[in-house]
Amino acid sequence: MGVPNKVLTLVLIREEYRILLGMKKRGFGVNRWNGFGGKVEAGETIAQGAKREVEEECGLTLTEFEEVGRIDFEFVGEPQILEVHIFRGDKYEGKLQETEEMRPKWFALDAIPFHSMWPDDAYWFPIFLRGSKFKGYIKFEGHDKILDCSLEELETT
Ligand SMILES: CSc1nc2ncnc(N)c2[nH]1
């Protein structure tokens, strides 16, 4: 039995024609446009962790959001799998703000900056944007090279 998975959240807030991303200013994934999210803390559900991270990272309070996907990420040489639970944010309150962690920005759906994002996004964003649920497994070598990618679309809403 290997090391238990590290459970993480990833929230993509989307409106009809735009999606909210954050430029990561430090730490894991720095200098890439990302979804909002992070670790799930003891005593909170995965959904509560997702909501908390959004508040901490960009000041918005999610009022309607849904888990739509799950991707297990393996990084060569690291025994721990990152089990990322992906949420679509539908409704929110509050004022969007830059934090020490993230610089938020809305992007038109036909202008998503994939060249400045994690390379896996180009694989699963199209599934996410057409409203499907999905699950997958992606193996990285370092932070730029994808060795394996398998994604399964589970349902189209
Ligand atoms: C670990 S691989 C990864 N892909 C991602 N896409 C968007 N936002 C993230 N934080 C991401 N992490």
Q: What is the CA radius of gyration of the chain?
A: 15
pLDDT band at residue 156 using 50, 70 and 90 as cut-offs: low
Q: Could you tell me the distance, in angstroms and rounded to a whole number, from the CA of residue 35 to the centre of ligand 1?
A: 7
pLDDT band at residue 155 using 50, 70 and 90 as cut-offs: confident
pLDDT single digits (tens) 45-56: 999 999 999 999
Report pLDDT for 57.
98
Under a CB-based contact definition with an 8 Å cutoff, are residues 90 and 60 in contact?
A: no
Please, what is the average pLDDT of the chain? 97
Residue nearest atom 7 of ligand 1, based on CA coordinates:
34
pLDDT band at residue 157 using 50, 70 and 90 as cut-offs: low
Task: Give yes or no for residue 120 CB within 6 A of ligand 1.
Answer: yes
Task: Give yes or no for residue 124 CB within 6 A of ligand 1.
Answer: no
Beta strand 132-141 pairing with 145-156: antiparallel
Task: Give yes or no for residue 8 CB within 6 A of ligand 1.
Answer: no
